[in-house]
């Protein structure tokens, strides 16, 4: 009796299916980013698979198919928000630091949340990248400084990169956005000049 050939499993992968999958993922991430813009505060517990699914017009189950945990979903959304800001931490330099930070502060004005920095593991990863970017930018201009001096300078620049600074100037001092941006550029320029001139901390 002749043996039957093993039936090959049909592959359902196709360019169309892959495109639809990519579009669904993009829709979910975009919906998550749009949702963050409307949150009343930076408590990312509100950025759940269910809430993002409702915003994207898909089920929570569909969101979970692409992002198995809330942490993975938040990480993808955070990366999208960083892309929106136009900041590339890997190419950060002191010469354009003021424009980067002022641009970030202006970008933050598009969010409803005006409170402290979010407490979420996704932001821990971003914070490490930011600190590494600052240290690399300082090291590039201070090759003869000690690692401790370079780290100190980077840390001082990091202090100026806090949303609370912008909110302090606009809220407590009553500066408008233009005056705030001009003041921050002045301060960043002074720090850059001090570093470039070799005035160590």
CA–CA separation, 31 and 37 (whole Å): 10
- Residue 13 binned pLDDT confidence (cut-offs 50, 70, 90): low
Cβ count near 86 (within 10 Å): 10
Question: Which tokens is 164 given?
Answer: 């609370």
Which pLDDT score, from 0 to 100, does residue 150 have?
96
In this structure, what DSSP letter does residue 168 have? I
Residues in the chain: 201
Which pLDDT score, from 0 to 100, does residue 139 have?
96
Q: Mean of the pLDDT values across residues 30-48?
A: 86
Q: What confidence tens digit (pLDDT) does each residue in 50-65 have? A: 999 999 999 999 999 9
Q: Are 37 and 110 in contact (CB under 8 A)?
A: yes
Q: What confidence tens digit (pLDDT) does each residue in 178-201 have? A: 999 899 899 999 999 999 999 999
Least confident of 45-49, 88-92, 95-99, 118-122: 118-122
30, burial (CB in 10 Å: exposed 0-12, middle 13-18, buried 19+)? middle
Q: Are 111 and 193 in contact (CB under 8 A)?
A: no
Which pLDDT score, from 0 to 100, does residue 195 have?
95
Task: Using a pLDDT cut of 70, give the percent of the chain over it.
Answer: 89
Is residue 71 scored above 90 in pLDDT? no
CA–CA separation, 23 and 138 (whole Å): 40
Is residue 115 scored above 70 in pLDDT? no
Q: Which residue has the higher pLDDT, 149 or 36?
A: 149
């Amino acid at each position: 009796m002749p043996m039957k050939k093993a039936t090959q499993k049909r592959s359902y992968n196709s360019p169309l299916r892959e495109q639809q999958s990519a579009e669904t993922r993009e829709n979910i991430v975009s919906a998550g980013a749009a949702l963050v813009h409307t949150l009343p505060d930076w408590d990312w517990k509100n950025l759940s698979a269910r809430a993002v699914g409702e915003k994207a017009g898909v089920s929570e189950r569909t969101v979970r198919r692409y992002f198995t945990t809330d942490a993975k979903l938040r990480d993808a959304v955070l990366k999208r928000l960083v892309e929106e800001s136009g900041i590339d931490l890997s190419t950060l330099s002191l010469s354009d630091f003021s424009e980067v930070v002022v641009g970030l502060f202006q970008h933050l004005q598009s969010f409803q949340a005006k409170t402290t920095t979010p407490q979420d593991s996704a932001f821990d990863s971003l914070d490490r990248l930011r600190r590494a970017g600052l240290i690399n930018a300082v090291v590039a201009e201070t090759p003869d400084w000690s690692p401790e001096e370079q780290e100190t300078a980077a840390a001082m620049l990091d202090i100026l990169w806090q949303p609370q600074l912008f909110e302090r100037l606009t809220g407590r001092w009553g500066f408008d956005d233009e005056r705030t941006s001009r003041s921050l550029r002045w301060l960043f320029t002074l720090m850059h000049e001090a570093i470039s001139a070799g005035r160590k901390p």
